[in-house]
Amino acid sequence: MWAFLFKRVRLFLVAAILLPVIASLARRFAERLEQNGPTFGSRGLHVIEGTARRARSILS
């Protein structure tokens, strides 16, 4: 029972804290890379941002 409870708490912490941080960092890095236009790296960072946002909405 305790293992189940701690697993749920960890999942909540990841969804509530880490995923928004990852999404915001990816967005900031992408915006800096896109000063002269979209690049391959900035597109990848936008994909990471979108994935983190979707994962948070699914887990929350």
Instruction: Count helices and strands (H / E) in the chain.
Output: 3, 0
pLDDT tens, N- to C-terminus, the chain (60 residues): 666 678 888 888 878 888 889 999 999 999 999 998 899 999 999 999 999 888 878 876
- Separation between Cα atoms, residue 51 and residue 47, nearest integer Å: 6
Q: What is the pTM of this model?
A: 0.73
Query: How many structural domains is the chain composed of?
Result: 1
- Both tokens of 30, joined, read 């992408």
Distance CA 36, CA 42 (A): 11
CA distance 29 to 23: 10
